Structure 1
Amino acid sequence: MTATINDRKYELIEKITSLKNEKDIAELEAHLQYLDMNARFPGMFRPMISDISVESLRKEHNYDVLPVEEINSIIDDLDIQEDLEYLLAQLS
């Protein structure tokens, strides 16, 4: 027999009131806040990514890398005559 939604709520309340650890309570509060925000703004909030790589960012943003030959061609087309140190000093 499946529990009704009210039975499930009471079970959750019992579990919450039995919590003793401050850290567990803080984590539960954070999770409930996340659920509330996600309900109010669907699709806006995603869990934090624990490990990020350049490759995963490329895929997420549909980034295509320019071939080295094309980059070199652009550099040649710009025909920059100034010294690199001079140009970098202009940035600051």
Structure 2
Amino acid sequence: MIPFSDEELFPVVEKSLEKVKPMLALDGGGMQLLAVKNGRVFVQLQGACNGCSSSGQTLKYGIERHLRIDIHPEIEVINIAPGMESELERYE
């Protein structure tokens, strides 16, 4: 269990993700932080990352791994596809 509230995690996650964004930008991609709920980080991959066949690998072995090392080993990252923002309600 993550010992932080979602409100405490959001700015920390946001700051940590700023370190990953340049890596995504090198390949023409991007990412937006949508929410943090129950230790889950919801992002939206953008640009070339959206729909890329390697986006799953980027999400788990790039972004999620970085957050687990930087913040807490139980953080999970979930990509929400553009237009599917209403899916966030499922995770409450």
TM-score (norm 1): 0.29
TM-score (norm 2): 0.29
Q: Which has the higher contact order (CA 8 A, sep 6+)?
A: 2
